[in-house]
């Protein structure tokens, strides 16, 4: 499982990973041990539609 978060931020802001911790914590809470994942947090100058945070996740589902 992989999670990548993009945070719209001003120059000098360095807490991108702290912002994305919310998404990581949610996945870990909902999926427990199965929710362990790799993660990246990136700061950007703008995002589509003026949103503040965009999260992309890839999951492998088992039947």
Cβ neighbourhood burial of 17 (10 Å; 0-12, 13-18, 19+): middle
* Every domain of the chain and the residues it spans: 2-58
- When pLDDT is cut at 50, 70 and 90, the band that residue 59 belongs to is confident
pLDDT for 63 equals 73
> 2-58 sits in which CATH class?
alpha beta
The answer to whether the pTM exceeds 0.85 is: no
CA distances from 11 to 1, 23, 54, 62, 63 (A): 30, 23, 18, 42, 45
How many residues are present in the chain?
Answer: 63
């Amino acid at each position: 499982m992989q999670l990548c978060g993009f945070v719209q931020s001003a120059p000098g802001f360095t807490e991108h990973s702290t912002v994305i911790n919310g998404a990581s914590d949610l996945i870990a809470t909902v999926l427990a041990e199965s929710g362990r994942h790799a993660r990246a947090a990136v700061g950007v100058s703008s995002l589509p539609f003026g949103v503040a945070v965009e999260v992309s996740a890839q999951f492998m589902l088992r039947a």
